Amino acid sequence: ARASERTTEHTTERTTGRTGERDGGWTGERAAERGERGGQWSGERSRTGAGMGTGTGMGRDDAMTRSEERLHIGVESREVGRARLRKYVVTEEVEQTVPLRHDEVRVEREPITDANRDAALTGPEIGEAEYEVVLHEERPVVETETVPVERVRLTTEEHISEETVRARLRKEHIKGETEGFDETTRDAGDTGDTGDIGSRRGRGDRDDRGDMGRGRRL
DSSP three-state, residue 102: strand
Exposure b/e, 94-118, CB count within 10 A at least 16 = b? eeeeeeeeeeeeeeeeeeeeeeeee
DSSP three-state, residue 137: strand
Number of helical H runs and strand E runs in the chain: 3, 0
Own/partner long-range contacts of 122-128 (Cβ < 8 Å, ≥24 apart): none
pLDDT attached to residue 125 = 79
pLDDT attached to residue 33 = 61
Task: Identify any residues that bridge with 102 across adjacent strands, giving them in sequence order.
Answer: 137
Q: Where are the domains of the chain?
A: 1-36+206-218
pLDDT attached to residue 22 = 55
pLDDT attached to residue 141 = 93
DSSP three-state, residue 189: helix
pLDDT attached to residue 211 = 45
The burial of 145, by beta-carbon neighbours within 10 Å (0-12 exposed, 13-18 middle, 19 or more buried), is given as exposed
pLDDT attached to residue 199 = 44
Is residue 100 within 8 A of residue 139, CB to CB? The reply is yes
Q: Which residues contact 179 (CB under 8 A, 6 or more apart)?
A: 51, 55
Per-residue pLDDT of the chain (218 residues; tens, 9 = 90+): 555 555 555 555 555 555 555 555 555 556 556 655 555 555 555 454 444 444 445 556 788 999 999 999 999 999 999 999 999 999 999 999 999 999 999 998 889 898 888 888 887 778 888 889 999 999 999 999 999 999 999 999 999 999 999 999 999 999 988 887 665 555 444 444 444 444 444 444 444 444 444 444 43
- Could you tell me the maximum CA-CA distance found in the chain, to the nearest angstrom? 226
Task: Identify any residues that bridge with 68 across adjacent strands, giving them in sequence order.
Answer: 171
